[in-house]
């Protein structure tokens, strides 16, 4: 018998049994494929149809089915309700393999159930299935070949992408850390302040001082609020005019920065006294006298006037060139 006839003969005998019907109970078995190479795997699909309120005892399947079939894996039961009936389908998939060759049989699997009003146990079976296990022919004349080395699969973009993203994140963190350290080391704010506001700093500060004067806070026994707003106006002016983070500094830090500027010693001393007095009012709840309140406002106008950027008139520029 030639090869073609052998193949036709094998296919002819691979007949899947029809499900056995016993009243409302029905068991079926189906293979993904009836022909596999030795050691390969296929899926055996088991389905049991039964009333949903009845108990059916499944066959014990542990490691083997019959003598030639090895069970690799068993899935959990998957129960499906059949619409319009009192029946359910319970499905289980078995991953199986075999190390024998040739045509082998999968024996029928027996499901036991109790008949209504009868203690006699009945059963329903799956059909017996056939499988053909093929093998590779070895040409003995060629001898034994060396084992081929393991081939390394090329990297895919999906595998490389996480490495790229993590690398970029590390570079970003290092860059941000260096930037923060550099700004801190050079006593500069982390976020650079604008070098020049659209409206000159002294104009903004003078307008805010005028508003504060009109509020008459200290005249209404609100000295703490008065000094808080006054010093905030002063701090904002320093940030807009001298470009350092005065809003986040304490009095001593502000004085250290002002000493680096071209400010007279007299004005620095007066500024220090006002700032310290303001701290006492805000934190020690000291009530200043009327003259001290007026002096603080006069100092603010004076400081702004003496430190503001002077506007150079066109005539003065021409005279300077001559």
Yes or no: say if 238 and 244 are a contact pair by the CB < 8 Å rule: yes
Which residues are CB-contacts of 31 (< 8 A; sequence separation ≥ 6)? 16, 42, 43, 44, 45, 106, 129, 131
In sequence order, which ranges of 120-194 are alpha helices (DSSP H)? 157-185
Spatial separation of the C-alpha atoms in residues 143 and 148, rounded to whole Å: 15
50's tokens: 């039964």
Spatial separation of the C-alpha atoms in residues 96 and 41, rounded to whole Å: 6
CA distances from 142 to 77, 135, 147 (A): 49, 18, 14
CA quadruple 165, 166, 168, 172: dihedral positive or negative? Answer: positive
What would the pLDDT profile of 245-272 be if each residue is shown by its tens digit?
A: 999 999 999 999 999 989 999 999 999 9
Is this prediction's pTM over 0.75? no
Yes or no: say if 102 and 132 are a contact pair by the CB < 8 Å rule: yes
- The three-point CA angle 24-50-67 to 5° equals 105
Yes or no: say if 282 and 296 are a contact pair by the CB < 8 Å rule: no
What would the pLDDT profile of 11-56 be if each residue is shown by its tens digit?
A: 433 333 333 334 588 999 999 998 989 888 999 999 989 898 888 8
For residue 178, give the nearest of 242, 186, 254 by alpha carbon.
186
For residue 242, give the nearest of 308, 298, 303 by alpha carbon.
308
The residue ranking higher by pLDDT, 8 or 203, is 203
Which CATH code fits 3-135? Answer: 2.60.40.740
Yes or no: say if 226 and 212 are a contact pair by the CB < 8 Å rule: yes
Question: Domain map of the chain by residue range?
Answer: 3-135, 154-186, 201-314
Yes or no: say if 130 and 13 are a contact pair by the CB < 8 Å rule: yes
What would the pLDDT profile of 145-182 be if each residue is shown by its tens digit?
A: 677 788 777 888 888 889 999 999 999 999 999 888 88
The residue ranking higher by pLDDT, 314 or 104, is 104
């Amino acid at each position: 018998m030639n090869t073609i006839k052998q193949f036709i003969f094998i296919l002819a005998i691979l007949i899947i049994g029809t499900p056995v019907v016993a009243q409302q109970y029905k068991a079926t078995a189906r293979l993904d494929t009836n022909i596999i190479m030795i050691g390969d795997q296929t899926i055996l699909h088991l389905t049991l149809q039964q009333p949903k309120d009845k108990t059916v005892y499944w066959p014990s399947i542990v490691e083997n089915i019959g003598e030639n079939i090895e069970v690799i894996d068993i899935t959990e039961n998957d129960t499906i309700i059949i619409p319009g009936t009192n029946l359910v389908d319970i499905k289980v998939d078995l991953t199986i393999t075999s190390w024998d060759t040739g045509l082998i049989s999968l024996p029928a699997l027996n499901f036991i159930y109790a008949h209504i009003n009868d203690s006699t146990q009945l059963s329903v079976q799956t059909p017996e299935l056939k499988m053909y296990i093929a093998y590779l022919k070895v040409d003995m004349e060629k001898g034994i070949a060396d084992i081929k080395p393991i081939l390394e699969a090329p990297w895919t973009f999906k595998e490389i992408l996480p490495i790229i993203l993590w690398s970029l994140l590390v570079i970003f963190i290092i860059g941000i850390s260096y930037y923060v350290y550099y700004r801190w080391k050079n006593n500069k704010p982390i976020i650079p302040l604008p070098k020049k506001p659209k409206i000159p700093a002294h104009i903004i500060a003078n307008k805010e001082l005028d508003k504060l004067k009109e509020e008459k806070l200290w005249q209404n026994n609100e000295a703490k609020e008065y000094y808080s707003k006054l010093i905030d106006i002063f701090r904002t002016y320093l940030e807009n005019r001298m470009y350092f983070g005065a809003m986040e500094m304490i009095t001593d830090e502000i004085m250290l920065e002002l000493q680096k500027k071209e400010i007279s010693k007299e004005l620095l001393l007066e500024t220090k006294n006002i700032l310290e007095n303001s701290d006492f009012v805000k934190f020690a709840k000291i009530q200043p006298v009327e003259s001290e309140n007026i002096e603080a406002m006069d100092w603010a106008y004076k400081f702004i006037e003496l430190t503001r950027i002077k506007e150079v008139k066109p005539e003065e520029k021409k005279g300077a060139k001559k």
